Structure 1
Amino acid sequence: MRRKEVILFMTVGTGINQGSEEEGYKSMANKLYASITRIFPNFVVFFATEKSKETIKYIEELFKRENDVFVEDEDYEIKYIAEIDDFNHCFEKIEEGVWFYDILSEDNVEIVMDYTSGTKTMSAAIACCGMMYNKTLVSVGGDRSAGLVAQGTESINYHNLYKIYDKFSLMRVRSNFNANRFFSNIDTLNGIVDTTIAKDDLLNLCKSYYAWENMDFNEAYNFLTQINMDRLVFYEIKEELKKNLKALGAICKSKSENLKNCYILASLINNSIRRAEEYKYDDAIARLYRAFELIAQIRLYKYDLFSSDIDVEILKNKGVSEEFIQDLERKREEDGKIKIGLIKDYNLLYQLDDDLGKYFIENENRIRNMTKKRNESILAHGLESQDKESFDEFLDLIVTLAKKLDKDMKKFLDETKFAKFDLKVDINKD
């Protein structure tokens, strides 16, 4: 593999010295020369003012003393900064250099940024630019017993910014988490090296929610149980996570089929709400439609009935009309099973004198209009796109039915709602 060429970015100060202006230029030149000869770059880019370019002439002289040359355009170039106390101006000039020599270049280069010299604003700008574009940052150290670094004692300090990058990664993780981008967080978290950050616990949380989002309840429960909720990073969402753990535990371990199914239903409704928050209304409504079916199926289970295999003997014992039973018999398939869909589910509940069936019949026209819109969706049988108004109307219906299904549905919905980080919280508390 071809070795990377090293390009050294350096800010050049004004060279002011208590003795004389010339002494200031020389002093600054010595510091820059020490950095150049220790890093030994292939090319140097100076960010300097018109005035401070005098310093660079003295750097050329220092090379000549060592029987070497330092030639403009061959060994270095000067990029002039007109407003040395304007941070944005300084930053943009340095950033232009990054794009020119690295991002837009086909050459294999490594940019090293020396922020030792320059005005405070110039130094801050090059340090920030280096951090933003993940460039190597260096500064010149040495004996400072007399205040400034003594000539001949200079050393190059390479700065590892992993803590800063990890903090930025953590901010990104929290933001992605709140936006339901759980899978994308996995790569980001794996890149964190600071062992004081609860990386493994955050990974398990993201994996848990990712599995839950895909209705893999056992996997979600397994990952959530591995989290140490007493870690400081979770202090603001700890109570919500406890509720989530309770809900997943009920789904995975409860002996009550009704309790389990109600938590699954609540998970599905919350899942649809998250899709709507992302403006994915067709997807959200498709999930609500499944919740609509599930509500009827859960209630039918109360009567020992399954929409995938209706037992007509139970219907006869429950006093369902012969006409309705005969209609069902006409739907019996070759395998001997009677399978019914959503509308028939609710009609059957009506025949059973069930509150859900009654509500459906009382609101049948409105409900059929909503399901018609759903059927026209591009994710169902049509080519139409759904909107927020359609989703909100459908959601209101589903939540109403869900609460009629079980008096504790509000609690189930609360306990299956995903936690959200407060993005205003100081990340340094981690």
Structure 2
Amino acid sequence: KILEAIIWSRKTIDTDFNEKSIEMISKKPKGHGYELVEDLLLNSERRASQGRYDDAVGRLYRALELLVQIRLKLQYGIKTDDVDVKKIPQEYREEYEPKNDMKDRKNKIGLKESYELLAKLNDDDPLAKIYLSRKSELIGLLEVRNLSIFAHGFRPITKEEYNIFNTFFENFFDDFFTGMNAKRYAERCQFPHRLQ
């Protein structure tokens, strides 16, 4: 059941995946739409249990990014990999207009820009509220992640740094679901950490 919900979650955000026919899943969407994010969280835990903290934090970062991508797509019809500025209120459009050298390419925005856009669209959105209340802490954590060899730096992420990042994200995600009056779908659907 969780796998079916993860597949539906991916179909929501990944247009290439959406075009593929997938046998043996129901024709009706399952879950709340954020199961793919939950799957990445569980995957991050497995990487951390193997001592692969850089990999684990990279997956947490991707989950954080995917959370806002799904929210923008589901609630506001905005794709972060090709922003349609017509869907953005007039007062903010100029910020998101493609630059002169980008006119012929897709208008993409990153993690921070996506959360900022969400807050501009609706600062009362459950995810925007969480972001705004924890923005400075999040930026500090992202600086640690950016120093990782898997991001822009040269040093490994420590177990302690992973634990701080993981705790922050778990609380961020739990608060999002509480704000939506929803329950985490994959509460404890963890694969084994090691097969021996």
TM-score bin (small chain): 0.7 to 0.9
How many Å separate the matches in 2 of 1:281 and 1:256?
33
In structure 2, the partner of 1:295 is: 67
Quick one: distance in 2 between partners of 1:273 and 1:344? 27
Q: 1 or 2, which has the higher strand percentage?
A: 1
**Percent of aligned pairs sharing the same letter:** 34
1:325 aligned to 2:100? no
- Paired position in structure 2 for 1:314: 87
Take 2:144 and 2:193, find their aligned partners in 1: how far apart are those partners? 32
Q: Deviation of residue 396 (structure 1)?
A: 2.0
1:132-190 superposed Cα distances (whole Å, 9 cap, x missing partner) = xxxxxxxxxxxxxxxxxxxxxxxxxxxxxxxxxxxxxxxxxxxxxxxxxxxxxxxxxxx
Q: Report the AA paired with residue 413 of structure 1.
A: E
1:369–1:420 distance in 2 versus 1, CA, 3 Å: closer
Tell me which residue corresponds to 2:114.
345
State the match for 2:191 in structure 1: 418
Counterpart code for 1:350: A
> Are positions 1:286 and 2:41 aligned together?
no
User: Which residue identity is paired with 1:359?
Assistant: I
Aligned length: 169
- Deviation, 1:365, is 1.5
Amino acid at match of 2:94: Q
Contact 2:4 2:30 in 1 (8 A): no
Give the C-alpha shift of residue 330 in structure 1: 4.5
- Give the corresponding residue for 2:37: 265
CA distance in 2 between partners of 1:277 and 1:307 (Å) = 32
Looking at structure 2, the residues matched to 382 and 420 of structure 1 have their Cα atoms a distance apart, in angstroms, of 28
Q: What is the aligned counterpart of 1:408 among 165, 183, 186? A: 183
Question: Shift of residue 385 of structure 1?
Answer: 1.1
- SS of aligned partner of 2:150: coil
Unaligned 5+ runs, structure 1: 1-245, 424-430
Deviations 1:204-238 (A, max 9, x none): xxxxxxxxxxxxxxxxxxxxxxxxxxxxxxxxxxx
Larger radius of gyration: 1
**Cα RMSD, aligned residues only:** 2.4
Aligned mates of 2:31, 2:107 — CA distance in 1: 23
- C-alpha distance in 2 between matches for 1:262 and 1:414: 15
Structure 2: 5+ residue stretches without partners? 8-24
User: In the alignment, what sits opposite 2:138?
Assistant: 367
- TM (norm. structure 1) is 0.37
Give TM-score, length-normalised by structure 2: 0.76
Query: Which secondary structure state, in structure 2, belongs to the residue aligned with residue 363 of structure 1?
Result: helix
Bigger fraction of residues in helix: 2
CA offset digits 1:67-109 (Å, max 9, x no partner): xxxxxxxxxxxxxxxxxxxxxxxxxxxxxxxxxxxxxxxxxxx
Counterpart of 1:256 (choices 13, 29, 39) is 29
Give the whole-Å Cα distance in 1 for the aligned partners of 2:51 and 2:149: 15
